[in-house]
Structures are given as C-alpha cells and as structure tokens.
C-alpha cells in the first residue's frame, strides 16, 4: 500500500508472516551481504522494536539520522517513517505487535505503549545498549521466541505478559539513559 509521497505502509498481513499468533510477531535475523539495504522509506500499521546485536549503519527515523554501531534498540511507533542503511551486515531480532494484542489487557499497558516506550517527545527512538542491558534484552527475546514457538493454550497470555515485562525493561533502560544525558 502506498501513502503520500510514495511512502510504503506495511500492515500486519504482509509483515506478520509464519506465525499463528494474532497481532504479534517475533523473529531473529542475520543479514546476508546482498540484502542489507533492501527497503526504502516506509512505515507500519503496528509497533516494531528492532534489536541490533551487531553491525553498523544509520537508521533514519522521521527523516532524522541515528548512527548505530553494535548493540542498539530502535523503537518504532506506527506513525514513524523509517529506513535502515547498513554499512555492514547486522544481526539481531525484531518484535512486531499492534494495539489489538493488548485489547483485553488493562489501561496501564496502553499507557505504557502510548506515553512510555514509544513516546519520542523527550527521548530518542534509539537506545545504545550497555553489555548488561544487551544481556537482558537477549534474555527477553529468548523467552518470547521460545514461547511463540511453543503454541499451547496459554501462549498468547504468556506472550502478553512477557511483552509487557520487556516493554517495562526497555522503558527502564530508556529512562536511565535519559537521566544521564
């Protein structure tokens, strides 16, 4: 789907592939050299957290450049226009979800989404991770990925709670870095 000025908008149907969990997607990735810069400016109809474990480049978010080298998180709200230009192949993970994943949850989760993690008024949409923060993010990714692959009766509820804990951890890291800037 094309938006104004030819900015592509990706939706859940196009982006949440190979998952049976409604409104949630998680995966690990490792770039192949020939695919490192395959997308132009685009936006999504969902939230996306991109975790870069290793690699170097520039992520342009809302037409502002954010340089990265090594462990970083990018926090993308559905309204953000973005594009990653990688100088080297990267590896890491991605979590994608929408508001509907929180539909049956309480108002505190929605507050966290709207005004906490993805609020870019007083904080950047990027976090450079320290080694201990990288370890924590890695642990959450492992837990969420394992649960997403387990496919049992409680998977969606467990994922919702893991995602909320993950978002709280990201918010904690973001706030601690904002305090020292």
Q: How far apart are CA 21 and CA 93, in angstroms?
A: 17
CATH of domain 4-180: 2.60.120.280
- Among candidate residues 122, 101, 106, 104, the one with its CA nearest the CA of residue 49: 101
Question: What are the pLDDT digits (tens) for 5-54?
Answer: 688 887 777 666 666 677 888 999 998 776 667 678 989 989 999 999 99
- Among candidate residues 77, 8, 68, the one with its CA nearest the CA of residue 49: 77
Question: What are the pLDDT digits (tens) for 76-131?
Answer: 988 899 999 999 999 999 999 988 787 766 665 666 666 567 765 556 789 999 99
Query: What are the extents of the domains in the chain?
Result: 4-180
Q: Is 71 exposed, middle or buried (0-12, 13-18, 19+ CB in 10 A)?
A: buried
């Amino acid at each position: 789907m094309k938006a104004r000025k030819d900015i592509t908008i990706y939706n859940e149907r196009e982006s949440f592939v190979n998952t049976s969990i409604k409104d949630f997607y998680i995966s690990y990735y490792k770039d192949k050299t020939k695919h490192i810069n395959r997308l132009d400016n685009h936006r999504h109809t969902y939230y996306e957290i991109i975790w870069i474990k290793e690699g170097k480049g520039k992520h342009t978010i809302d037409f502002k450049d954010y340089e990265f080298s090594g462990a970083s998180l990018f926090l993308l709200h559905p309204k953000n226009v973005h594009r990653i230009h990688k100088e080297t192949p990267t590896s890491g993970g991605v979590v994608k979800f929408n508001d509907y994943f929180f539909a049956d949850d309480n108002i505190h989760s929605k507050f966290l989404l709207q005004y906490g993690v993805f609020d870019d008024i007083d904080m950047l949409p990027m976090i450079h991770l320290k080694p201990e923060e990288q370890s924590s993010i890695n642990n959450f990714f492992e837990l969420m990925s394992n649960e997403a692959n387990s496919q049992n009766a409680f998977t969606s509820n467990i994922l919702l709670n893991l995602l909320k804990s993950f978002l709280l951890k990201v918010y904690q890291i973001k706030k601690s870095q904002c305090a020292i800037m």
